Structure 1
Amino acid sequence: MDTKILIASIFQAIHKSLPIIWILFGALVMLKTLEHTGAITRINIGFEKLSSDMRVQTVLIAYLFGGLIEGVSGFGTPAMVTAPLMIALGFSPMASVTLALVADSTPAAFGAVGTPLTVGLSNVNDAPSFLNTVGQSLTRIDLFAGSLMPTILIFLLVFLFSPNKQNRLKNWLEFLPWTLLLGILYSVIALLSAAFVGYEFVSILSPFITIIIAIISIRFKFLIPKSSFITPWTMKQQSDTVEETSDMPLIKAWSPYIIVVVMLLLSRVIEPLKVFLTTFLNLSWKNIFGFKGLNSDWEFLYSPGTLLTIAVILGLLIQVRSIKSFVPTGIKVIKSMKSTAIALIVTLVMVQVFTNSNYNSADLESMPMYIANFISKYFSAGWIFIAPFLGALGSFVTGSTTVSTLTFGQIQSDIASNAHISQQIVLSAQLIGAAAGNMICVHNIVAVSSLVGLNGQEGNILRKTLAPAFLYCLLVGIIGFIFISIF
């Protein structure tokens, strides 16, 4: 490879990292601002008043609220938000981190407004023409695999973290109808969203609608065992109970999240607004250093990072009628993001050099193409079983569903073509596997464990999240194989 293409790849990687860092900035500023205004405390009180049973709280906070945060921010943010919330409700730090990491899997396949597809598959040939098809294929597979996630979360809570070893099976089974119902509803809503609205909205609409249904089911005690209201399952000792108070109305506490969800929906649905946001202040870089096809997109106003930042400012005006705290909070967040930004840029440099290796003086095929051709000779017949594990490996190393798919998307696509199996199903398996990799991602584990004071416990956390990640990938492989065989 010529020095010029190597330099161009480095600059492409730096530019591609900027939109991701910008989204992460917006998400972290929102979290820190809500802590400052006391909104997080009010949100906690709202959850506890709804149900003091930790099995219910696990599904509401880790799975559904975390899924909503994934939908509007992504990039490892959900676990950073939900783990402290759960600790405030009385969960042990180890339980909070484990459950938050495992829950941030199913929603991560679509990530922040479809980013794993929009950006992650951007290196795959002809990707724009089949993104919606991949999204629909993904939801069909997850209808059978992802639907089990709430049930798995309650299993982990009860069997790994129960203070009382007796009746663990009963405590899990009595919630089985409710968790299966919510898991199936989540997946069905995702499937319908992908089919009729667009893949960008799956990660927002699915948790948002499901959390409303879950709250209604709790209010009417539908499929919730009576024991949950009489003797709620909890880790807290009676002496640990501290009554928190807040004068802030619940709707005001939730206002920044409501604002960002509304803005995201409007910006994606109203076509004239979408055109304006994608064309005005467009910071995309086309044909970098004169290399045709070497591009990096950043539509600044259309970015979730911009909308998150606007929502934070509006939220401050609603909650405390002042934006004085925005600048100092933003500075603190920027300082805390240094190591994350460096790790992301270095990883993307590797990815872009890897991807752009077809620009070479020896007329050799690219490294992804070479690997794809080599592997497909020996493993093509059973590749659908390997595809999700390759995606999980990518997230384990890089810390991102999007970057994992950027790294391995073209390889997965080429192997599917060489093996004459559905490209959409294989890419769906890559995305779901990469989402499952969030459970075991080193970056996420280190970040969340340090946040809640579990430094040095990373190995213990990994051992707890490894089994559900493996099971999820295995289920995806089996279901993908059935789909390929039938269709």
Structure 2
Amino acid sequence: MYRQVTDPLGHPALTALLAALPLLVLLFLLGVVRTKSHTAALGGLATAALVAIACYRMPVLQVADGAAEGAAFGLFPIVWIVLNAVWINKLQRASGHFDTIGKVFSSLSDDTRVQALLIAYCFGAMIESLSGFGTPIAITSLLLLALGLEPLKAAAVATFANTAPAAFGSVGNPIQALAKVTSYSTHDLGAMVGRQSPVVAFLVPFALLLMLDGRRGLREVWPAAAVAGAGFGAGQFLCANYLVYQLTDVGAAVASTVALVLLLRVWTPRRRTAAEGEGGGGVSASAVPTATVNALGGPAVAAGAPLVPAPAPAPAAEAVAGTVTGPAWRPDGRSEAVRAFSPYAILTVLFALVSLHGPVERFVRSFDTRFAWPGLHVAGASGRPVSIADFDFGWLGAAGTLLLTTGVLTSWLLRVPLRQAVRCYGQALRQLRPAALTIACVLALSYVMNLSGMAVSLGTWLAGIGSAFALLSGFLGWFGVALTGSDTSSNALFGAMQVSAARHSGLSPLLMAATNSSAGVLGKAAAMQNLVIAAGALGLSGREGEILRKVIGWSLGLLVVLCLVALLQSTPVLDWMVPGG
């Protein structure tokens, strides 16, 4: 049995610096050396293992076992979720129904700024609910380009819009990772995040309008931003607190879209124009990649005009993710639109069946198993075994398994031939190999830091600032996401540290853990991997810094707002918002 050590050097500040060394190595390799993310994660993992063995005196085999458990958790359930979500996305593209979804959104208004809100904010959240990991940025940026936005603006809008749904992305992956390293239930964490993230969700549409058309856009289209933000925030709060947290993004996207559609029935923007450049000018067809023009209606798709059905196959999304090209979308009444949105309906029904108390839920839970990771025997400083050493393997009711089932039903409903569906799955596997390695390494790094006591060392030192830590907590989450590009990875890295610091500071550990996730999503706009995705999708490779300059101010501004909310939630002013507070 290894018993955690919290201050092996006998000096809290030096111990904290030592404990932070793996993270500093990770940051140096990513930000300075600019190595690939999985290489940087491996470097951080190797550093963590050396520190754990040499300074924390953790046995070599225990370190290896801890890293193995972390990597296993990264593969299941996290990669298992992403793999099947990406497969569903590829099935939609292969059948041609993915373009139908985009056209349904864009046909709701002939104002480009409203279309941009529907596509980047509402539709992007629906994609995030399944895929995450930058997928919404790649897809919505191409659609925005076809609306007439110049590439740099399209990239900035798509990137920043992705911050709103990220806390519940990939069917709640960030919440699962946070629950694992903090020992809080996913229900409590989801509920707390659902009481913070609506603040960000409400403000994001206003920032998008300012990006699109400056103060003029805000002055003319603010009702759409207010209604979309309020609907999104309400959907997040209700789903996370009273329904199923895994479906929070789906619920928020639907609520936001419905609210905006209802508004458009009684209100129209004062001036219909393309939100292009400072002067609102359009973009020539030559500025739009040929694949994008063909996919979204040809050169006739002018700035400010609604998108029209494509007369030819749609390879634009394929260019981003390597999808099998399918038949073009043809207008066929409401049935095509219903089939296009069917994966989200199926997923909602499946989650409801396995989450609501009843015979199906009991049957699924009967297959759940929890076991102590072989060879891993770790006790906390108090002498009690740490719960993180136990591995949960609920394979039948896992979100990834439900997504797999959804994919099978989707391939039937969308009439994708079996051979093509299998080919799509193979493409998803190949596409996710680098991401899977990165996720496994980051989780392995997190587990070594958490099991050895390094996370506790950092948390104990940070707790020295007292109640002011409530203000710093959000910045840690933002830093983690900006560093890794993933709210899931940030929660795995810093979740336990947040809890430890909160306990030593007399703050609510649940509040600080949730703040890591809620504030962390704003770091998505500054994450290098997301900037690279946006730049690559729009032919802006090498101009990632320009995209960053367009979004960094908004990212930090909303971060300050969220941190102030968290600070107030730690005081009698808003502590009623904390479950059990």
Which residue of the partner structure matches residue 271 of structure 2? 227
Give 3-state SS (helix, strand or coil) of 1:121's partner.
helix
Structure 1 residue 305 corresponds to structure 2 residue 360: no
Call closer, same or farther: CA 1:288–1:203 in 2, change over 3 Å.
Answer: farther
Residues 157-207 of structure 1: CA distance to partner in whole angstroms, max 9, x if unpaired? 224xxxxxxxxx222211112212321232233223333325344333222
Which residue of the partner structure matches residue 338 of structure 2? 251
8 Å CA contact 1:391–1:433 kept in 2: the answer is yes
8 Å CA contact 2:450–2:456 kept in 1: the answer is no
Residue 220 of structure 2 aligns with an amino acid whose one-letter code is E
How far 1:12 sits from its partner (Å)? 0.7
Paired residues, what number?
Answer: 461
How far 1:390 sits from its partner (Å)? 0.4
Which residue of the partner structure matches residue 435 of structure 2? 340
8 Å CA contact 1:73–1:304 kept in 2: the answer is no
Which residue of the partner structure matches residue 317 of structure 1? 412
Q: 12, 20, 26: which is aligned to 2:84?
A: 26
Q: 445, 449, 466: which is aligned to 1:350?
A: 445
C-alpha separation in 2, matches of 1:315 and 1:27: 12
How far 1:74 sits from its partner (Å)? 3.2
Which residue of the partner structure matches residue 81 of structure 1? 139
8 Å CA contact 1:52–1:232 kept in 2: the answer is no
Stretches of 4+ moved more than 6 A in 1? none
Which residue of the partner structure matches residue 196 of structure 2? 141
Which residue of the partner structure matches residue 361 of structure 1? none
C-alpha separation in 1, matches of 2:356 and 2:535: 38
C-alpha separation in 2, matches of 1:96 and 1:278: 44
C-alpha separation in 1, matches of 2:415 and 2:244: 36
Give 3-state SS (helix, strand or coil) of 2:539's partner.
coil
C-alpha separation in 2, matches of 1:418 and 1:469: 29
Which residue of the partner structure matches residue 434 of structure 1? 520
C-alpha separation in 2, matches of 1:343 and 1:142: 26
Structure 1 residue 403 corresponds to structure 2 residue 489: yes
**TM-score if structure 1 supplies the norm length?**
0.87
How far 1:321 sits from its partner (Å)? 5.3
C-alpha separation in 1, matches of 2:411 and 2:202: 36
How far 1:80 sits from its partner (Å)? 3.4
Which residue of the partner structure matches residue 424 of structure 2? 329
8 Å CA contact 2:227–2:260 kept in 1: the answer is no
C-alpha separation in 2, matches of 1:54 and 1:255: 27
8 Å CA contact 2:92–2:414 kept in 1: the answer is no
Call closer, same or farther: CA 1:262–1:5 in 2, change over 3 Å.
Answer: same
8 Å CA contact 1:123–1:406 kept in 2: the answer is yes
How far 1:315 sits from its partner (Å)? 2.3
C-alpha separation in 2, matches of 1:331 and 1:435: 30
Matches within 5 A, 1:150-165: 150-159=205-214
8 Å CA contact 1:107–1:203 kept in 2: the answer is yes
C-alpha separation in 2, matches of 1:308 and 1:472: 33
C-alpha separation in 1, matches of 2:143 and 2:363: 37
Matches within 5 A, 1:260-275: 260-275=347-362
C-alpha separation in 2, matches of 1:192 and 1:409: 24
8 Å CA contact 1:371–1:411 kept in 2: the answer is yes
8 Å CA contact 2:62–2:376 kept in 1: the answer is no
8 Å CA contact 1:72–1:261 kept in 2: the answer is no
C-alpha separation in 2, matches of 1:275 and 1:20: 23
**Percent sequence identity over aligned pairs:** 24
8 Å CA contact 1:44–1:89 kept in 2: the answer is no
Residue 393 of structure 1 aligns with an amino acid whose one-letter code is F
Which residue of the partner structure matches residue 119 of structure 2? 61
Residue 250 of structure 1 aligns with an amino acid whose one-letter code is A
Call closer, same or farther: CA 1:194–1:43 in 2, change over 3 Å.
Answer: closer
How far 1:148 sits from its partner (Å)? 0.8
Call closer, same or farther: CA 1:117–1:54 in 2, change over 3 Å.
Answer: same
C-alpha separation in 2, matches of 1:91 and 1:153: 13
Which residue of the partner structure matches residue 241 of structure 1? 300
Call closer, same or farther: CA 1:173–1:296 in 2, change over 3 Å.
Answer: farther
Question: Rg bigger for which structure?
Answer: 2
| Deviates most, 5-14 or 67-76 | 67-76
| Deviates most, 92-101 or 430-439 | 92-101
How far 1:404 sits from its partner (Å)? 0.8
Give 3-state SS (helix, strand or coil) of 1:113's partner.
helix
